[in-house]
Structure 1
């Protein structure tokens, strides 16, 4: 017997109730994440032109909401670079940090949430089907590289700013000192230690306790860094340290929803919602694929929608699934959304009880942690595989990657989507029309009809059997017409043309008109047009259209039935 309320519980909570010990890795990861996301959240709020505390607000309640509703088991939702940059861009006409600016940022987060929620109601998650593997991998790889480049400011003291290589290069123009030596020594040293910690050989001597030791090592390293920062006065050396944290709690309030405000922010809300969903779904879907877990795009829309609504109602700004946050969450050992719950509650607890003790945490440590966790997401393996097996996906990867690192993630994602659509249209336009023959069996002809170029087949002088390997619509109707007429001219003795429709799942009005015109044109050459193996949905369309009336031939249930009815006495043999 299940408890009456069990249907309201996500599957991961039910699994933890049945096996409480399985929660230990998530609790460990959540505790460490709660410490490490504090500087990151503060930084993203500043990047958006908002008070730092808003970054913390965006990392607490929205994270809890997504953990309960969202589609991914490990995606860490919160303030991220993409939403921070887009919020700043959307409100560029206002004074950053002003009360009006803050109010509009909160309103924008709520609107983004409503847009995403409505998209989930309309089940628009299918949009992700148009993001190819190449585009997704290229986008994630570019995001990882840009995150690494952006962290150089904290890792080695390089005064780098921007969301693309162009803007980053411009930010360094005229700068005399590109590296701050004390910061660089500390940051590179920490990065080396963390990369070593991630290796398989690290703590291998501890056996089963090796994984726990790796995660605990990060906390020990953070505590040691804070102590050393105070003992050796790293601030005097110019090393950037975390300041005293604000301790105000998130509070519920309805933002400004005046019609003029909503209308002014709607275009930005739609764009942020689209980018946040695609980038979050790409990241979450990638980890779901790596972990062989199911993933629902519509569920992702719902989770992101309510997370942004929660952010807008608790004084935060627009949130999404962050690549650096998620990769760090996974690197720390997260397995279920419990890690995000512990992180959010831990963040709230730390701010209230131990916020003062975190002052002195070097930003170089956070940068090293982020870099060590995202470097593995630069997906060279997928690029190599695509180049060997699917050049179009390789081109999509490279175009998305180059556009994203050169002009920014927004542009890269748009370029990737356009390439995905272009590739889809190109492939559906170039329809393969195969000439079929009857497969030869050990007792003569079989009931199977295959491409004469690939199989040992038997063909018939008076029959031209063609298989259309794509649904018919306005984008390919003309090319299919031309191909069929070309093939009919190449087989002058075939006065019966049979179209095998096994691969045709839909036929639009333009394609129906094409079949009518094709039948008429073949008639002028003293040939008849027949259809065979028409699928039910397609038959439902054409039986009430002029196609069946204009057809000079017949409708056959199978290619075999058409051949038996129409073949002449003479026959030729063709084969490989």
Structure 2
């Protein structure tokens, strides 16, 4: 009998030889991501312990259902700040209700992801350009960086845009707390120096020390805070953390019904961002490891991870690049490494939670600021400026949109610009007038190569499928080309690159044939693909064609010249 959660293939065929590698990777990832998990919960507006909760049940579910063998899911910066912005209108709720609302948002996001897998929409990521995703993530990273200033200065900065944050910062500049700034500033310098300098100069065998630095800084901060009584110095600390594993809690109630409709747009956008980012991470590592990857299975894994996690005090989780990179570098070979990282988290919340109480918020803020700098991806923008101006425009619009209007509007505007660019490109297909290279069967662009041309014969190669979006542009190009050849008697459309011709494209060819016939010019087709020919034979394109359909362009030249 087929079960709802069948035993995953990796567990059925797990090689015992990989066990030691996965154990080591699980322990390393579990230890390293503790500071990140605490910080991302804080970033989402939740008590830090919810970051640990979110790295337990969802990770187990993804390990069972997900597509990637090494993708390490958990709380990440992008979904954390999107959670905070989505729940900003409900900031006055009691902490428990706010936490349940964050779990409800995860449930809704997971449901969208699961529905997308059910409808097999894994292909949708192909239509969101690299420029949009890089611009959105870069803009979000800048907002996150600015937002953490309040934790290392104690200045109550608020707002969802750069302008709002800037105005808030200036208005409350006098509220800066020097002891907090000293703690946060020192932590930032240590972590920044470790990540961008120490990690580069350490020999490979000592890289482990650099990876553990955030945890070491956190432990030292806890010890110093405990003995110096940071709370007496008015340096904000985490305080008491509930001890124990996450509990089963319904993430909804009847009073949440009006809020569900308000959260629908945000949850849909979060589902899109979660899938795009997680799919990019998981698929890239799958290619490097020469493993099979299924986008629809990834949707299903993320969906169930968020749906089930929502009932165990989790907020939205996704596959993170840095977390996955650490997992791979540590030697992970299967999801068993993620399962063992859950054991580390469980031990932390069961026995070590009380010891986290003296940890200053300033240290967590500094840790997030340093981690987030790497997400500002100007390299992609520079490459796009050189090779793809449309993608560079999409990057800039998404980045500026996020900074000026906030995450949700910025992402939507970026996607719209990306689609507009796609439509614009599709409406301007590459078309070339070609000639024969010597006596060969090759035909090349007359503006790029030395070719043979006969003024009585015009050969035009169309390099895109013909559809309603570009039929007019193709017709205009052919018309101008014919006008430039005063002695033209035959026009051959070389269709070797045309994979489909829709109804508008068919009507364009019929009209073109009639107009050329009125000018005593015969229209011919060559190198028509089988499926396209099967389609055209049922239409008036072939029935009314004044010329012939040639198997090859060489044959057309031989017959017509």
8 Å CA contact 2:38–2:50 kept in 1: the answer is no
1:513 to 1:455, Cα distance in 2 relative to 1, 3 A: same
The partner residue of 1:472 within 461, 466, 475 is 466
SS at structure 2 position matched to 1:531? strand
Residue 327 (1) aligns with residue 351 (2): no
1:455 to 1:519, Cα distance in 2 relative to 1, 3 A: same
CA distance in 2, matches of 1:88, 1:553: 63
Give 1:384's aligned residue: 382
Runs of 5+ unmatched residues, structure 2? 1-5
CA apart distance, 1:368: 2.3
Residue 455 (1) aligns with residue 452 (2): no
TM-score normalised per structure 2? 0.87
541-550 or 175-184: which moved more? 175-184
1:108 to 1:298, Cα distance in 2 relative to 1, 3 A: same
CA distance in 1, matches of 2:314, 2:198: 41
The partner residue of 2:413 within 406, 412, 415 is 415
8 Å CA contact 1:70–1:302 kept in 2: the answer is yes
8 Å CA contact 2:269–2:408 kept in 1: the answer is no
CA distance in 1, matches of 2:520, 2:258: 63
Runs of 5+ unmatched residues, structure 1? 1-6, 568-576
CA distance in 2, matches of 1:299, 1:9: 12
Residue 497 (1) aligns with residue 491 (2): yes
8 Å CA contact 1:75–1:284 kept in 2: the answer is no
RMSD value over aligned CA atoms? 3.2
The partner residue of 2:122 within 125, 128, 138 is 125
8 Å CA contact 2:113–2:271 kept in 1: the answer is no
CA apart distance, 1:385: 1.6
SS at structure 2 position matched to 1:66? helix
CA distance in 1, matches of 2:448, 2:148: 55
153-162 or 429-438: which moved more? 153-162
CA distance in 2, matches of 1:203, 1:466: 55
CA distance in 2, matches of 1:560, 1:401: 51
8 Å CA contact 2:53–2:246 kept in 1: the answer is yes
8 Å CA contact 1:82–1:409 kept in 2: the answer is no
CA apart distance, 1:403: 1.0
8 Å CA contact 2:400–2:410 kept in 1: the answer is yes
CA apart distance, 1:347: 2.1
1:146 to 1:364, Cα distance in 2 relative to 1, 3 A: same
The partner residue of 1:310 within 300, 308, 311 is 308
Give 1:135's aligned residue: 132
Give 2:365's aligned residue: 367
The partner residue of 1:225 within 221, 224, 242 is 221
Task: Provide, for residues 438-485 of structure 1, a one-character-per-residue CA deviation record: whole Å limited to 9, x for no partner.
Answer: 012xxxx11111111111111123211001121111111112112111
13-22 or 428-437: which moved more? 13-22
CA apart distance, 1:515: 0.7
TM-score normalised per structure 1? 0.85
CA distance in 2, matches of 1:12, 1:391: 46
Residue 177 (1) aligns with residue 179 (2): no
Task: Provide, for residues 17-58 of structure 1, a one-character-per-residue CA deviation record: whole Å limited to 9, x for no partner.
Answer: 4333433652343232453145325425535xxx77655543
8 Å CA contact 2:435–2:452 kept in 1: the answer is yes
21-30 or 350-359: which moved more? 21-30
8 Å CA contact 1:75–1:283 kept in 2: the answer is no
1:176 to 1:88, Cα distance in 2 relative to 1, 3 A: closer
CA distance in 1, matches of 2:265, 2:401: 22
8 Å CA contact 2:194–2:210 kept in 1: the answer is yes
The partner residue of 1:520 within 491, 503, 514 is 514
1:248 to 1:210, Cα distance in 2 relative to 1, 3 A: closer
8 Å CA contact 2:456–2:489 kept in 1: the answer is yes
Give 1:574's aligned residue: none
CA distance in 1, matches of 2:387, 2:207: 36
474-483 or 29-38: which moved more? 29-38
Give 2:31's aligned residue: 32
Give 1:546's aligned residue: 540
1:225 to 1:99, Cα distance in 2 relative to 1, 3 A: closer
SS at structure 2 position matched to 1:416? helix
1:354 to 1:105, Cα distance in 2 relative to 1, 3 A: closer
CA distance in 2, matches of 1:350, 1:99: 22
